[in-house]
Amino acid sequence: MTKRRPARFPLVLLGMGNVHRNLLRILDRKAGLLAERHGVALPVVACADRSGFVLGPEGAGSRLGRPAIHAAKDGGTPLREIPGSAPLSLAEALDLAGPSGILLDAASMDLETGGIGLRAARAALARGQSVVFANKSAVALAFAELEETAAATGAGLGWSATVCGGLPVVNVGRGELVAARFRRVRGVFNSTSNLVLERMAAGRTLDEAIREAQERGIAETDPTNDLNGTDTAAKLAIIARTILGAPVTFADVERRGIEAAPTPGRDEAVRLFGEAVPGPDGGFRLRVAPHAVPKASFFGSMGALDMAVEWETDIFGVQRLAATEGDAIPTAAAVLRDAVHIALGRPAAPPRRAPARRKSA
């Protein structure tokens, strides 16, 4: 019996930090399983860092292998300075991927303009090419526009990796809680701030705690956005916009970081919370701030490497999700999850559409 060849969905990787470097390793290990179980192949035909786009390891005629990419990026060398790399423009990278191509955005966060991630997403979606986000910027700033463009061109859109890494907050909240109305959401969405608060409570210095988070690959070189609540606020805005259906953006979130952390009591722990609570106009008030909670509570009993969410709905009651993620691998796995769902035609976060009206007889 002839074995069917897997369907190809060429990937364009934007950003070559911890997430996409781990994704490359996962693809190396899981290529056979992806072909056998899901019938898909995900060749990397182009990739980009701050130096620009280059021909990827599976691009036609490429002389840039994955080991060279890992060695260069681990040593801080830009992609375009790797011997044998072939520079590309964004348009050329998307051309290489073709109609079934998927742009994966794990570029650095830019919550002022959306940066290269938003520009590249607009270009891909306008062509009908699908986009998967690990970078929160575009989703936090322009989700309505992106969703509208994707619907118009038939492109897929995935963003589950933008909230709590591998924890399927977006997938469950948007896809599984059918007909539910959300009353409130509360969560610890940033693993770096949680680790730092836990380590400092145990007597470590701020610098020591940050260094550990960076060595684990869960904190950026500059962890300011993690510690001042910016990252949590972006994730809360994404939850509010894409799960709760609230017409909000990042600018609507009240924010305080760990600098405002209270002194906990003996049986308390401090967490940096993102919360969506009922507002005075019937909508939601969005706020990020550190609070002390009992150690015996759900959030108080979390580990240093945990992220968690708790939500209350009208028909599903109170639900809690939690995960332990000590590195960037689960976030990379979430990117892969979204890409495979798109390839199979079943996006993990289905679009919200009004039901079609039945024609009268």
Is residue 125 predicted with pLDDT exceeding 50?
Answer: yes
* pLDDT tens track for 97-123: 999 999 999 999 999 999 999 999 999
Q: Give the pLDDT score at 220.
A: 81
Mean pLDDT (whole number) for 264-283: 93
Distance CA 354, CA 103 (A): 28
Helix, strand, or coil (residue 319): strand
The answer to whether residues 296 and 269 touch, using CB atoms and an 8 Å cutoff, is no
Give the pLDDT band (50/70/90) at residue 1.
very low
Nearest to 171 by CA among 321, 324, 286: 321
Nearest to 269 by CA among 202, 221, 174: 202
Nearest to 136 by CA among 113, 157, 108: 108
CB atoms within 10 A of CB 359: 5
The residues pairing with 105 across neighbouring beta strands, listed in sequence order, are 14, 133
Query: Catalytic residue among 3, 30, 73, 235, which?
Result: 235
**Helix or strand holding residue 321 (H, E):** strand 317-324
Give the pLDDT band (50/70/90) at residue 359.
very low
SS (H, E, C) 192-237: HHHHHHHHHHCCCCHHHHHHHHHHHCCCCCCCHHHHCCHHHHHHHH
- Region of residue 317 (phi > 0: left; psi between -120 and 50: alpha; otherwise: beta): left
Q: Give the pLDDT score at 221.
A: 82
Q: Give the pLDDT score at 351.
A: 52
Is residue 353 predicted with pLDDT exceeding 60?
Answer: no
* pLDDT tens track for 36-51: 999 999 999 999 999 9
* pLDDT tens track for 196-231: 999 999 999 999 999 999 998 888 888 999 999 999
Helical spans, DSSP H, in the chain: 18-33, 66-74, 90-97, 115-126, 137-153, 169-170, 191-201, 206-216, 224-227, 230-242, 329-343
Give the pLDDT band (50/70/90) at residue 358.
very low
> Which residue type sits at 232?
T
Task: Report the percent of the chain where pLDDT is more than 90.
Answer: 87
Q: What is the C-alpha end-to-end distance of the chain, expressed in Å?
A: 50
Report CA torsion sign: 33, 8, 13, 70.
positive
Is 235 among the residues known to form the active site? yes
* Per-residue CA distances from 108 to 85, 136, 263 (Å): 22, 9, 33
* pLDDT tens track for 289-348: 999 999 999 999 999 999 999 999 999 999 999 999 888 899 999 999 999 999 998 664
- Region of residue 275 (phi > 0: left; psi between -120 and 50: alpha; otherwise: beta): beta
Is residue 354 predicted with pLDDT exceeding 50?
Answer: no
Task: Report the percent of the chain where pLDDT is more than 70.
Answer: 95
pTM confidence score:
0.91
For the ranges 23-32, 48-57, 132-141, 276-285, the lowest mean pLDDT is seen at 276-285
Q: Give the pLDDT score at 217.
A: 82
Mean pLDDT (whole number) for 73-91: 95
Sheet holding 306-313, edge to edge: 254-255, 284-294, 268-278, 182-188, 306-313, 317-324
Nearest to 65 by CA among 32, 93, 24: 24
